[in-house]
Amino acid sequence: MAPEALPEPSPEAPPAQFTTPSIARRMACWFYEGLLLFGVVFISGYLFGTLSQTRHALDNRHGLQAFLFLIFAIYFTWFWSKGQTLAMKTWRIQVVDTAGLRLTQARALRRYLFSWMWVLPPMMASAPFNLSPIIVSLLCLAWVVIWALSSMLQSRGQYWHDVWAGTQLVDISKP
C-alpha cells in the first residue's frame, strides 16, 4: 500500500485559504517532536563522544551543546524546507511561507533561529541567579505555556516566531 500523498499548497492561493491547526494539535505535535528528538540527541551524542574521544558526559559539554545546536539546525532546516518533520506528518500539519509555498532553506533556518524563543528567554533570565535545574525547568515550562498562549493574540493564531520568520503552520487534514 503506497503512502498517501500530502496536499501541496497552491502557489496562487491567498494565505487566508489556509486553516491554522488548533493550539492543542500544535502543542501535541511539539511534544511529539520533543520525544522524537531524544533519538536524534542520543545518536548525535554518541557520534560527538566518539569523534571527540570524550570519556565523561561533563567533559567538553559546551562542545556537545554547540554540536547539538548544529545538528538540530540541520534537522529542522532540512525537514521544514521539505514541508514537514515526522511529527508534523503524524499530526497533519505543514509549514509554508506566507504565500503558501514551501520554505526555502534560508527561511527554514530563520524559523529555526526564531524558534529558540520557546526556551531561551527563561534560560537567559535564570542564568545570573544560579537557580536549581528544577526551578529552571519550571520557568521554561511556564514560558512555553505563555509563549503558546500568546499565539492567540496574533490575528491568524500563528506563533510569534512564525510571524517573524514569515512562515505559517497550516492544517492539511482537510482536503
Q: What is the pLDDT of residue 29?
A: 95
What residue has cell string 532540512?
78
0.85 exceeded by pTM: no
Q: Where are the domains of the chain?
A: 19-171
Q: What is the pLDDT of residue 175?
A: 60
- pLDDT tens for each residue of 85-131: 999 999 999 999 999 999 999 999 999 999 999 888 888 888 888 88
Q: What is the pLDDT of residue 170?
A: 95
State how far the Cα of 136 lies from the Cα of 141, in Å rounded to an integer: 9
- pLDDT tens for each residue of 3-25: 444 455 444 444 457 899 999 99
- pLDDT tens for each residue of 136-172: 899 999 999 999 999 999 888 999 999 999 999 999 9
CB atoms within 10 A of CB 95: 24
Output the CA–CA distances (angstroms, integers) from residue 15 to 96, 109, 169, in the order listed: 10, 21, 11
